[in-house]
Amino acid sequence: MILPVALKTLPAEDHQVVAVAARKLEDAQEFAKKHSISRAYGSYEELARDPDIDVVYVGVIHPYHLSTCLLFTNAKKNVLCEKPLAMNTKEVREILASAKRNDVFLMEAVWTRFFPASVEIRRLLAQGEVGEVKMVRSEFGVPVMHIPRSAQKELGGGAMLDIGIYCLQFICMVYNGEKPECIQATGVCVDTGVDETVVVTLKFSKNRMAVFTCSSGIQLPNDAIIVGTKGTIRIPAHMWCPTSLVVNGKVTEYPVPEPCLPLNFLNSTGMRYEAEEVRQCLLKGLKESAIVSHSDSLLLAEVEDEIRRQSW
> CA geometry: angle at 297 spanning 140 and 63, to 5°?
75
* Rounded Cα gap, residues 247 and 118, in angstroms: 13
- The pLDDT assigned to 261 comes to 85
Percent of the chain with pLDDT over 70: 100
* Rounded Cα gap, residues 208 and 171, in angstroms: 11
Mean pLDDT of 285-309: 98
Mean pLDDT of 280-287: 98
- The pLDDT assigned to 94 comes to 98
Q: Kindly report, residue by residue over 185-220, the tens digit of the pLDDT.
A: 999 999 999 999 999 999 999 999 999 999 999 999
Q: Which residues face 139 on adjacent strands?
A: 213
- The pLDDT assigned to 1 comes to 59
* Rounded Cα gap, residues 119 and 127, in angstroms: 13
Question: pLDDT-derived band of residue 265, with 50, 70 and 90 as boundaries?
Answer: confident
Percent of the chain with pLDDT over 90: 96
Mean pLDDT of 36-58: 97
**Is pLDDT above 90 for 264?**
no
Going along the chain from its start, the domains and CATH numbers come out as 3-110 (3.40.50.720), 116-255 (3.30.360.10)
- The pLDDT assigned to 145 comes to 96
- Number of other CB atoms surrounding residue 290 within 10 Å: 9
Question: pLDDT-derived band of residue 32, with 50, 70 and 90 as boundaries?
Answer: very high
* Rounded Cα gap, residues 87 and 159, in angstroms: 13
How long, in residues, is the chain? 312
**Is pLDDT above 80 for 138?**
yes
**Is pLDDT above 90 for 306?**
yes
Strands 182-189, 39-41: parallel, antiparallel or unpaired by DSSP?
unpaired
Provide the mean pLDDT of the chain. Answer: 97
**Is pLDDT above 70 for 83?**
yes
Higher pLDDT, 106 or 2: 106
Question: Helix-strand-coil percent breakdown of the chain, rounded to 5?
Answer: 40, 25, 40
Q: Which residues contact 24 (CB under 8 A, 6 or more apart)?
A: 42
**Is pLDDT above 70 for 59?**
yes
Contacts 24+ apart (CB under 8 A), 21-25: 21/46, 21/47
Q: Which residues contact 184 (CB under 8 A, 6 or more apart)?
A: 200, 201, 202, 310
Mean pLDDT of 141-157: 96
> CA geometry: angle at 198 spanning 192 and 203, to 5°?
145
